[in-house]
Amino acid sequence: MLTQTPLWPEPPAPPTSPRPRRGTRASERRRKRWTIGIVAAVTSLVVAAGSAYAFDVFEPEATNPPSAVAGAQAAIAESVSLQTALTTDLDDARAVLKSPDGKAADKSTRSALNTAIEDAERAVTSLKSVTTSPSGTEAEATALLKASAALDVDVPAVTAALREATAAVAASGRQARLARAVSGLETARDALKTAMVDGEQVHAESTADAAGRDALRAALDDGGDLTAQADKLLARAAEAQAATDAQTAADIQADASPAATAQAGTVQAAGAEAGAASEASADVLGDASRLTKALTEATAGIEEAAAAVSAETADDAPEAETDATDPGADDTGADPGDDAGTTDDTDTAPAGTCPEPDQVWSAENGHLSSSELAQIPFASGHYVRSDVVGALAELNAAYAAEFGVNMTINSSYRTYAEQEALYNPSSKTAAPPGCSNHGTGLAIDIGGGVATFGSAQYDWLKANAEAYGWVHPPFAEPSGRNPEPWHWQSVKAPNSY
């Protein structure tokens, strides 16, 4: 019988492995136990570590902090920087307000700076609230970022407004002080020129001795030198004023728009120009103060020297001879000393009377004792009544703070004899002896810029002197019977003259 071959042969049976030995099986079982033990130990460690993190036993090292927290930390650093810069600007602004320029600035400009300072102080307070470190939560960090974003817009605007207002006050004050210095210098120069004209006439007509005429000549020559210096300084003042005006707009624009001058070269150039303008103004102000004082002293020196020469010339003049052919002789032939042959003396008002209704005669006028008088502290050789000198000193202190110089006192208490020598019945300049408030120790004549109606010094005294007990009387006003801007008197004066 034929053997049929199957189409799908059966796979061959695997070879039969020999039966392992007993020792080999034990080893295999040990390896499996070790493997299982290691896996269990690792698993236990992982679970334990996870539990520790879950219960805040320890924290993992932060390598990537949340974005909001990182942004908040950057915002804190920026807020600290802005706060420091704004605080410095505030210090500068307050210093400018207290400076001579700040005090001389107009009220509206000072008011604007005070408002800007208040806004900046509020901004600093807001910045301090952003400089507190957050706890690290996303919610707090997000809130801090929101507040910081608002300040990033507000603070630069507040800073720009503060700097602009500070620059405006400094510029306004410089302009005002320069204008006042120029006005005072011009007034002092013009007064000196007038004194020089009068002095030259006295010198030319004098018959006094050489010593007196030489002293007047020297005073006149010194006056000529000083007027030349004044002209040069006034030219410098005009240049400084122009530079100040040109720089003012640049200062304000630069402070208002810091971003516009971000380039270092532009900022340095602007700062150099501002410094040069400020230095030029300061130099002019200092020189003007010193020269104005020198001009005033020179004017007084020329007037004193001219008066001495005039007095000596009058003493040297021969007395007129009186005879029958002299038109001024007494036709009766009586002795000129005889009352019957003389006319009324019109040079001095009769006792108890004064020519003007606002004048009051008193027997004490011009006869005050030394115990009733006190020397004016800032004007050596000048005296007023002791009960008003303190208020006058206080007025001068305020005046000096405003203009940088003391008031110039040209006349104060006058004795009866001094008033008698000044009085001229054909002139309203001096009152008759016994009728002038100078004789009461309650009146002064002030020189410098005060001696001109409408000057900065005169207007300042009109606005402030009464608070210190000193006034400009009605008779001396521009519309008064005898306009005298230089005449000021205590409110204790018995009349208006």
User: Does residue 202 lie within any of the structural domains?
Assistant: yes
Residue 299 placed within a domain: yes
Are residues 179 and 248 located together in one domain of the fold? yes
Report if residue 59 sits inside a domain: no
Say if residue 399 is in the same domain as residue 262.
Answer: no
Identify whether residues 374 and 480 lie together within a single domain: yes
CATH number of 357's domain: 3.30.1380.10
> Is residue 222 one of the residues assigned to a domain?
yes
**C-alpha span between 200 and 194 (Å, rounded):** 10
Residue 46 lies in a domain: no
- DSSP-based three-state secondary structure for 482: coil
Computed over its alpha carbons, how large is the radius of gyration of the chain? 48
Domain boundary residue among 252, 287, 313? 313
pLDDT under 50: residue ranges of the chain: 1-3, 5-8, 52-65, 255, 258-272, 319-350
On whether both 309 and 354 belong to a single domain, the answer is no
Statement to judge: residues 95 and 170 lie in one domain:
yes
Would residue 30 count as lying in a domain?
Answer: no
* Contacts with 213 (C-beta within 8 Å, 6 or more apart), sequence order: 203, 206, 309
**107-156 tens-digit pLDDT:** 889 999 999 999 999 888 877 776 555 555 555 666 666 666 656 667 78
Same domain, 351 and 309: no
401 C-beta neighbours (distance < 10 Å), count = 10
Burial of 151 (0-12, 13-18, 19+ CB in 10 A): buried
Where are the strands (E) in 3-149, listed by range?
Answer: none
What is residue 98's predicted lDDT score, i.e. its pLDDT?
Answer: 87
Residue 484 belongs to a domain: yes
Domain assignment present for residue 322? The answer is no
The answer for residues whose C-beta is within 8 angstroms of residue 419's C-beta and 6 or more apart is 365, 366, 430, 431, 432, 433, 434, 436, 438, 439
Instruction: Domain of residue 410: give its range.
Output: 347-490
Measured distance CA(289)–CA(293) in Å, rounded: 6
Beta strands of 49-169 (E only): which ranges?
A: none
239 lies in the same domain as 147: yes
The last residue of one of the domains, among 271, 296, 313, is: 313
Using the Cα atoms of residue 421, residue 364, residue 494 and residue 451 in order, give the sign of their dihedral: positive
Model pLDDT for residues 275-290, shown as the tens digit of each residue: 556 676 777 888 888 8
Domain count, the chain: 2
Last residue in a domain, options 293, 313, 333: 313
Residues 404, 481, single domain; the answer is yes
Are residues 284 and 383 both part of a single domain? no
∠ CA(154), CA(157), CA(158), 5° rounding? 85
Same domain, 282 and 383: no
Task: Please tell me the predicted confidence (pLDDT) of residue 263.
Answer: 40
Residues 284 and 363 reside in one and the same domain: no
Question: What is the reported pTM?
Answer: 0.45
Same domain? For 461 and 418 the reply is yes
Residue 321: the pLDDT is: 40
Q: Note the pLDDT of residue 261.
A: 40
